[in-house]
């Protein structure tokens, strides 16, 4: 990739990392869209997106935990089966265009709901263990297959089902993303045994954007602002899945 293109892509990564980290996400769907627009090969996009996810999600996990927006009781049932299924999804390379379009439509519908009728904050009711295990396994597999961390799916589901307060959901989602991205990248590297060298420049950009965004999301932005930003993030992710 020419140096000027690498610089522009790094700037795009920084912006995506900032926007997504504000709502407890790490930006994989945005990174994938940006790297696709810049003509990167599909075999390079997936591992780089997961690596950027890991960097931003690690920062976000710390920021939301430090601000008191994390619930281990809500998190661990989702995560326990998510990691092995994310590894499986990262190892597999399936033609899944129709499936991705359906998921994209669901994300766009969720984005519209957050813009038109965002759910109010209410006393949370955590799901039962079987439901959490099933959701975690399904989202882990989806995360590995799509090269994302799964939080883009977990966050709207948990908020609409009122499984937790908005910032608590953001706090568990970002750690969920970290776990799945680590597992998904391990599966991908096990299958491909390669990783693009220029990704380190993009990682630096992601760290800058993720640090600023996760600080604002965890400590400064109100719940309503996070829901509006989440709608934008969901719309970007949905459009990416449909048209990529």
CB 94 within 8 A of CB 228: no
The C-alpha R_g of the chain, in whole angstroms, comes to 16
User: Tens place of pLDDT for every residue, the chain, 244 residues?
Assistant: 666 788 899 999 999 899 889 888 888 878 888 888 888 887 788 889 889 999 999 999 999 999 999 999 999 999 999 988 988 877 776 655 666 676 777 788 778 877 877 788 888 999 999 999 999 999 988 877 776 788 888 988 999 899 999 999 999 999 999 988 898 888 888 887 778 887 889 999 999 999 999 999 888 888 788 888 888 888 888 887 777 6
Give 196's contacts (C-beta < 8 A, 6+ positions apart): 44, 47, 48
Q: What is the DSSP string of 121-176?
A: P----PPPHHHHHHHHHHHHHHHHHHTS-SHHHHHHHHHHTTSS-HHHHHHHHHHH
Query: pTM for the full model?
Result: 0.84
Number of structural domains, the chain?
Answer: 1
Question: Environment class of residue 243 by beta-carbon count within 10 Å: exposed (0-12), middle (13-18) or buried (19+)?
Answer: exposed
| Domain boundaries, position 101 | 3-243
């Amino acid at each position: 990739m020419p140096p000027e293109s690498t610089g522009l892509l790094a700037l795009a990564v920084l912006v995506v990392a900032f926007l997504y980290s504000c709502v407890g996400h790490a930006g994989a769907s945005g990174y994938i869209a940006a790297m696709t627009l810049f003509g990167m090969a599909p075999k390079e996009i997936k591992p780089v997106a997961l690596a950027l996810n890991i960097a931003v999600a690690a920062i976000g996990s710390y920021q939301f935990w430090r601000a008191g927006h994390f619930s281990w009781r809500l998190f661990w049932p989702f995560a326990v089966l998510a990691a092995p299924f994310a590894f499986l999804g990262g190892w597999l390379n399936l033609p899944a265009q129709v499936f991705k379009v359906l998921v994209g439509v669901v994300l766009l519908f969720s984005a519209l709901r957050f813009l038109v009728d965002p759910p109010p904050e209410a006393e949370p009711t955590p799901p039962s263990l079987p439901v959490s295990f099933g959701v975690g396994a399904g989202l882990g597999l989806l995360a590995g297959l799509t090269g994302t961390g799964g939080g883009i799916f977990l966050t709207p589901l948990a908020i609409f089902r009122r499984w937790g307060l908005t910032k608590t959901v953001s706090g568990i989602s970002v750690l969920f993303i970290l776990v799945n991205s680590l597992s998904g990248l391990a599966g991908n590297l096990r299958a491909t045994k390669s990783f693009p060298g220029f990704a380190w420049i993009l990682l630096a950009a992601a760290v800058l954007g993720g640090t600023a965004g996760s600080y604002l999301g965890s400590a400064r932005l109100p719940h309503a602002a996070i829901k509006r930003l989440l709608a934008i993030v969901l719309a970007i992710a949905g459009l990416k899945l449909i048209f990529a």
